[in-house]
Structure 1
């Protein structure tokens, strides 16, 4: 059965009349056309690919135009397009056929540059985490170092919500070179302090977990907006509050907290800053217990 070159959905059989259709609807055809137009005429990127684990960039063969690769298809362009699609539609909706349509290329031509979807996601994470170069020198002092880590991650999750849900949360995270460099720089916050390495990891995890936890509120809102077409502001303007006042009639503490309905998720930057201060205050107290002489 034929499938749509944009969304991947099955195309209804038209009884064999005329040329087989590439798209399931006019909407998908229009999206593919706009995507090809948006990427047309871009300068060619270097024809190399850096392995996810680091090392020297490796050359890749130029695309086969007869295969639909186009004159400017490269690993870097494929990865950039994949990130744009994931930012727009979520990583769960990213597949090679849709990506090829976005690039105006043949699906099989992508495999000249990436081995498959798993490798593509690794390259996307590597690229996204390299958008902001590591600071040189690193922030001085434990608090400045951990603050930088939290704000760097917060910015990353705001730019690329998919990276949190699908690539960064869990004990089985797939490490890339840029992720490893980020971890090394983050642990430098504890340089000069008498804190065992395993405790450094535990304290860093507290900061990372806080940042990821509050970022999940943002990520969930992005997902709901994409699925429903209703933004957070529109939802709050319509609903006023997500808590039924009758439900809180005999719950004075919650009633007081929600007395003035406000869109909590629209204040996330402020909540993040306030929460980070409390987390770092607590880590400072723990460091003192370890006998660390704190200068910042």
Structure 2
């Protein structure tokens, strides 16, 4: 009797775990890679991954990917029924604003701002929802407290770089790392409506220190800071948007590209867009992998190369 293709993938993954090629906690290849490796449709690879998750062999972690589970249950032995946890509440006297903010950040990191609610924070802390309002007036106020705390997580140990460019690079990379840790953070407020967050000012102070020796007036300095921040935030916005797109469509970025490959090829073949067609031809079968970290570094380097020309004109004689 022929074995279904998805079952062959399931058996192979189990074998890799059994012989140690895949260890608990290892991240699984994407469904696109599995489909290519096995020569099957994406739907077949997706079905295999879903079955392994249902059986507890793999576990899907929100916003992270699919990983080998820490312990693999026997497929022949059903998992014991979980006992309902006792609905115990923590004493409200132990509740602090800091604990509320930290719990809210953990929820937003896992589920995005759309998954954040005062009720959810209270449930995570095992307190009554109304108790949280004694420390935070509203969800909007909570989000600002979260942003301030997140921006302030990473500091700048001494000694500071002596070179202006190294100072700005350090600040920009620290901000980018912060957005990487908290993808929701770039969504909190638009560039045109900055918020009075001391955590964010920690980063801008580094850039002010870099620009101070050049004698730029306040408007020129702020223009530079806005330009640099917009590059970082502008890229970081897509960290959360990609997750939102995956949740809305059920497709990873690779699967989405595969689904739209024929439409892209038709545009290239139309002859109306020779630049696009030539680029697609150069990529060939390998395609293009969008690497936001690489784009961040490219943009930062390009901006600072241009800024160096401007600063040379303002260097005191």
**TM-score range relative to shorter protein:** 0.5 to 0.7
Who wins on radius of gyration, i.e. which is larger?
A: 2
> Is 1:114 aligned with 2:139?
no
C-alpha distance after superposition, 1:59-113 (max 9, x if no partner): xxxxxxxx95536432222111101111222213312112222222211011122
- 1:185 is displaced (CA, Å) by 2.3
- Runs of at least 5 residues in structure 1 that lack an aligned partner in the other structure: 1-66
1:183-198 to structure 2, matched below 5 A, reads 183-198=204-219
1:113-192 to 2 correspondences below 5 Å: 113-167=135-189, 169-192=190-213
Instruction: Sort the Cα spacing of 1:103 and 1:270 in 2 relative to 1 into closer, same or farther, 3 A.
Output: same
Q: Which of 204, 211, 217 is the matching residue for 2:225?
A: 204
- Deviations, residues 145-166 of structure 1 (Å, cap 9, x unaligned): 2212221121111111211112
Structure-1 separation of matches of 2:263 and 2:211: 43
Contact 1:142 1:189 (8 Å CA) reproduced: yes
Task: Point out where structure 2 has 5 or more consecutive residues left out of the alignment.
Answer: 1-87
Shift of residue 241 of structure 1?
4.0
Q: Which residue of structure 1 lines up, in the alignment, with residue 305 of structure 2?
A: 281
Q: Which has the higher contact order (CA 8 A, sep 6+)?
A: 1
Paired with 1:180 and 1:274, the residues of 2 have a C-alpha distance of 24
Q: By how many angstroms is 1:243 displaced? A: 5.4
Decide whether the 8 Å contact of 1:225 with 1:232 is kept in 2: yes
Q: Distance in 2 between matches of 1:243 and 1:284?
A: 42
Cα RMSD, aligned residues only: 2.4
Return the TM-score normalized by structure 2. 0.64
Q: Distance in 1 between the 2:247 and 2:95 partners? A: 29
Shift of 1:234: 4.1
Which of 287, 292, 296 is the equivalent residue of 1:262?
A: 287
The Cα of 1:204 is off from its aligned counterpart by 1.9
Deviation at 1:202, TM superposition (A): 1.0
How far apart, CA to CA, are the structure 2 residues paired with 1:253 and 1:111? 57
